[in-house]
Chain A
Amino acid sequence: MEEAAKKGRVTPLASLFPVEEAQKAVRRVHETLSEKESELDRFRGFISDNTNLINLVQKLPEGLHHNIMVPFGKAAFFPGRLIHTNEFLVLLGEGYHVERTSKQTVEILKRRGKALQSQVESLKATMQDLKAEASFFGITASEAAEGLVEIREDYVEENFTERESQSGPPKEHPPSFSEADKVKVAVEDEEYSCMMSRLDELEKAEYEAGYGNETHEDIENVAVSDEEYARMMSRLDELEKEELEAEFVNERDEDNAKLAVNDEKYAHMIARLDEIEKEPETECGNERDEDEKIKADFDQSSDQISLDKINRFSEEYQSRKLLEQTKDKKSATEETLDKRDTQKDLTDRLNCTGLTVQSRPKEMSHGKGLVHGIMKSTPLEKALVLPEVKENVQAASSLRSEAPLQDSKPGFDSRKAFTGSIIERAHNMQTSSSQQAATSSQSTVTQPSKPVSRFKMQRR
């Protein structure tokens, strides 16, 4: 790998996260989790008692008096009568009782039930966070035990050709990517999380702004029929900026300068993209054609730097693109797409974007490897997705397949910058919504053979 040429520092994960400590952390979190579980059970008991009481209180006034067995002391009963069946002395708390009728009592009880419910909800939310934490710790512990290694390398601009060769079949060479990936992975997860959160914010903002509108905040813009591209480009620009900011954190000034230069070139390419977008085509066709054209443009114009940047952003770009496309195409899916960062929406999003994404990555790879879309996700997913995607893409974007989305995203990252990857979603899908925290999502990602979270894509 080209990265091998760079000097790097190898840090075994075990040294960063000692195995025993990670395991202890897992145990601690599990204990807290079980405590919360028991509390939750208590609450559930209270709620059921409350409902039973409401039913009883509603039934009593049905008769003027009831014949009952009255408890007398600890072990005796005597037959008696329950009179004044509509009068209740309700304990409000702190020793205060109040006389109320049956209906009023039921109202009081209902209000209590609502308060209990809200407490249960908050407890559940805490438990979710704890579960996410536990899974993160668990994954870290297992990774540390496996002897996973983190390699930090200085970021150096790479040649476009080198990249292309690397972008080859990403799937089959997880180890080869690991180095490149590790370069980015070396970036602290925190940075990733920062970027991801920024991306998320951007996405959301863009979604809200762009959803349903054809207008774009894009610089270059979109008068064209293909607004999607314009949107994507603008997003891409935003992402670029963010990434630049993030990268600046990790990289040397030279790199920054290079990135700045790349930005200009990138901007040129984006402009070209816009031009391409203007060609009239069907949406579906546009997507693919445009992708190809864009790729062509990229290929021709680029210097590696801009390509690098493009590649880096390709993931996000693609994901965004897909978002855009799907949005335009389907309102239903669009909503879900926007939230792709959240695990819950994974399935929907995948469906929506999966199709388009898939087609894109393929085209890209055809085009040159500019976008390594397909690479990232696990080979399994990709294999599944690609064939599906191809068909779907042609059919038109209303298909939903989550897998493709994830696959495509990872593909981009294969080389470098993490640029949010969707891989996480596949992982999320499997683990359901248990991991919601961003941090946990970042770190929890995964197990060696599964698609990796955006941040960890490279780890594969």
Chain B
Amino acid sequence: MASPAALRELQRELETKADDLNKIQKDISKNHQVRKKYTIQLGENELVLKELDLLSEDANVYKLIGPVLVKQDLAEANANVRKRIEYMSAELKRLDTTLQDLEDKQNSKRDAVLKVQQRIQSLQAGKAKA
């Protein structure tokens, strides 16, 4: 009598915990995607910086802003690209820490889910014996 109720409760608990786990996993995968994007952009920026360094002082640099090609100063372009690189590395680092937190949470949730499952199993085993 109390067992079926307890059993149902445990099962509900299990569901909620499983949902949490799924959410965390989705967050982790999103994190991965964003990280990938940032990594690619970072790589591209580094390439651009390399090429800009190879340019002579009087070369004309243009930046494509929408449909417009705007002439830019070489020094300005260099500075911009460097800033972007710094910003992106900082973002990546932040994402890394977030990812780490998410993974820890995921592990703890997984343990909780397992524990609930075990309790359910023991309850069911007890009921079967009784």
A residues neighboring B (CB under 8 Å): 89, 91-100, 108, 111, 115
Contact = CB atoms under 8 A, between A and B. Distances in A.
Contact of A95 (B51, B52, B55, B65): B65
Given A92-B48, A115-B47, A97 B59 contact: no
A94 B81 contact: yes
A47 to B, nearest CB: 16
Nearest to B65: A95
A93 B61 contact: no
B125 interface: no
Interface residues of B, number: 20
B55 A98 contact: yes
Contact of B61 (A98, A108, A115): A98
Contacts of B48: 92-94, 96
B94 interface: no
B59 A99 contact: yes
B86 to A, nearest CB: 14
Nearest to A97: B62
Contacts of B84: 94
Contacts of B62: 89, 96-99
B52 A96 contact: yes
Nearest to A98: B61
B44 interface: yes
A111 B59 CA distance: 19
Interface string B14-49: 000000000000000000000000000100110110
B61 A97 contact: yes
Contacts of A89: 62, 69
A97 B52 CA distance: 10
A209 B77 CA distance: 54
Nearest to A101: B59
Contacts of B51: 92-93, 98, 108, 111
B130 interface: no
Given A96-B61, A97-B69, A99-B61, 12 more contacts: A89-B62, A89-B69, A92-B51, A92-B52, A93-B51, A94-B44, A96-B62, A97-B62, A98-B51, A98-B55, A98-B62, A99-B62
B64 interface: yes
A95 B80 CA distance: 12
B55 A96 contact: no
A93 B45 contact: yes
21 contacts: A89-B69, A92-B48, A93-B48, A93-B51, A94-B44, A94-B48, A95-B63, A95-B64, A96-B62, A97-B61, A97-B63, A97-B64, A97-B69, A98-B51, A98-B60, A98-B61, A98-B62, A99-B60, A99-B61, A100-B59, A108-B51
